[in-house]
Amino acid sequence: MRLKRLEATNFRNLTGAIEFSPGLNLIYGANAQGKSSWLEAIYLLATTKSFRTSHPKEVVTHDAGEAVLRGSVARGNLTKDLQLLIAESAKQTFVNGKREAVTRYLGNLNAIAFTADEMQVVRGAPEARRRFLDRGIFFTLPAYLGTLNEYNRVLKQKNALLREASEADDPLKFHDMIQPWNDQLVALGSEIHQARVSHVDQLRAHLNPDLFQAEAITIRYKSSLEGRGDLGDYASLLRERLGLRLKNEIAVGYSLVGPHRDDLEILCDGHEIARFGSSGQQRSALLILDMAQISVYYQVFEEYPIFLIDDLDAELDRTRIEILLNHLDGRSQTIVSTSKRTIAERYSHRARTLLVQAGRVTEDQGLRNG
């Protein structure tokens, strides 16, 4: 899988298009010129999500009604044209000029991004780690997105009912109304639990802690129902806990039980990396997890997703950069941004180096490109 070309219209400060090489592509330039915006555009084209904002209107050029991203993607001998139209409150997706539902659009281009915000996977709250797992599962099991979306919809409906019950004079009358939502949460939550446990097992099999000569990195799926009963019969255990905690849920006005409260445990030499790991160890751990996710994807599809690194020199030291790019060579198409011309010069013999100025990218004739 590789991205051959990307064109941006009315997207932040970007203008024009980029032609990418199959291997390493290095976008560089001064700050605030649009380097990160080009990577954001690639990630949006692939996932319909931004790694910089949750508000679509923020990417649309001021005074423009909509932004458009167009990309050409090669998979084997097949090339597809993708288009993402971004309006203030909605997005539209197209494949080969035909409007497609998001569920059919996603998967045509898969991208993993290493960014400053992505460090929340190892440093932040459990929500970031659940997103990391869910993204990896969806890459290899597209139907999982429907399950996850339906679970979140049911959870939202149940929470609305719990809030209403918590403010009612007679909360008991809500018990029968809540039960059908719990039944759905049991069915959907069991699917999510099993998919995440299986994905963690796959990741564990592909962890390569020797990549950075790092300390032993271990991971484990940590269910919020641990110690409450038999996780081997998760559906029965979840149903039981939902029943036992119903009064508490009504009292607080939101759901307290389910896989939306689970976590991924990441340990470095047996210690929780978020609390005890150094910044370098945390960066190495995230990259090791990203490389494992890439390997799992390859195991399923016999091709690699593309890999994006935003602000390469800010997030990684020279040694890690060298090790990572060597590891990715011959695997994923890699597209990175940097503010350092010296890095572009260092890799010009093996990368397509592209200079961005005021949102427009050109090949720098002063560098020798491979």
pLDDT of residue 142: 87
Report the sign of the C-alpha dihedral through residues 305, 152, 233, 131, in that order. positive
Res 368 pLDDT > 60: no
Residue 61 has what DSSP assignment?
P
For the segment 101-125, what is each residue's pLDDT rounded down to a tens digit?
998 899 999 999 999 889 999 999 9
Name which of 10-14, 120-124, 167-171 the model is least confident about. Answer: 167-171
Average pLDDT over residues 81-89: 92
- In DSSP notation, 111-174 reads EEEE-TGGGHHHHS-HHHHHHHHHHHHHHH-TTHHHHHHHHHHHHHHHHHHHHHHHTSS-GGGG
Residue 44 tokens read as 């949006």
Average pLDDT over residues 115-136: 94
pLDDT of residue 41: 95
Residue 198 buriedness (CB in 10 A; 0-12 / 13-18 / 19+)? middle
pLDDT of residue 364: 67
How far lies 118's CA from each of 166, 269, 324, 330, in Å? 36, 22, 17, 24
Separation CA 357–CA 263 (nearest Å) = 42
Kindly indicate the confidence band of residue 370, based on its pLDDT and cuts at 50, 70 and 90. very low
Separation CA 166–CA 249 (nearest Å) = 8
Res 13 pLDDT > 80: yes
- In DSSP notation, 277-331 reads --HHHHHHHHHHHHHHHHHHHHHHHSS--EEEESSHHHHS-HHHHHHHHHHHTTS
Average pLDDT of the chain is 92
Report the sign of the C-alpha dihedral through residues 368, 112, 5, 66, in that order. negative
**Cβ proximity of 93 and 83 under 8 Å:** yes
For the segment 317-344, what is each residue's pLDDT rounded down to a tens digit?
888 889 999 999 999 999 999 998 888 8
pLDDT of residue 216: 85
Average pLDDT over residues 176-195: 96
**Where in the chain do CATH 3.40.50.300 domains reside?**
1-110+305-370
**How far, rounded to the nearest angstrom, does the alpha carbon of residue 112 sit from its chain's CA centroid?**
6
User: Comparing C-alpha atoms, which of 16, 36, 19, 40 is closest to residue 28?
Assistant: 36
**Where in the chain do CATH 1.20.1050.90 domains reside?**
118-300
Question: How many Cβ atoms are within 10 Å of 117's Cβ, its own excluded?
Answer: 12
**Cβ proximity of 353 and 344 under 8 Å:** yes
Separation CA 367–CA 349 (nearest Å) = 9
Helix axes 279-301 and 126-140, enclosed angle (nearest 10): 20
Q: For domain 1-110+305-370, which architecture applies?
A: 3-Layer(aba) Sandwich (3.40)
Name which of 14-18, 177-181, 275-279 the model is least confident about. Answer: 275-279
- Residue 367, φ and ψ in degrees, nearest 5: -110, 145
- In DSSP notation, 191-236 reads HHHHHHHHHHHHHHHH--GGGGTPPPEEEEEE-TTTTSS-GGGHHH
**How far, rounded to the nearest angstrom, does the alpha carbon of residue 36 sit from its chain's CA centroid?**
16
Report the sign of the C-alpha dihedral through residues 295, 297, 300, 304, in that order. negative
For the segment 294-316, what is each residue's pLDDT rounded down to a tens digit?
999 999 999 999 999 998 878 78
Question: How many Cβ atoms are within 10 Å of 184's Cβ, its own excluded?
Answer: 16
Domain 118-300 class, CATH top level: mainly alpha
pLDDT of residue 206: 95
Separation CA 200–CA 267 (nearest Å) = 14
Helix axes 144-166 and 126-140, enclosed angle (nearest 10): 140
For the segment 255-273, what is each residue's pLDDT rounded down to a tens digit?
999 999 999 999 988 899 9
What predicted TM-score, i.e. pTM, was given to this entire model? 0.91
Residues with Cβ < 8 Å from 319, sequence gap 6 or more?
none
pLDDT of residue 365: 60
For the segment 227-236, what is each residue's pLDDT rounded down to a tens digit?
999 999 999 9
Separation CA 312–CA 306 (nearest Å) = 16
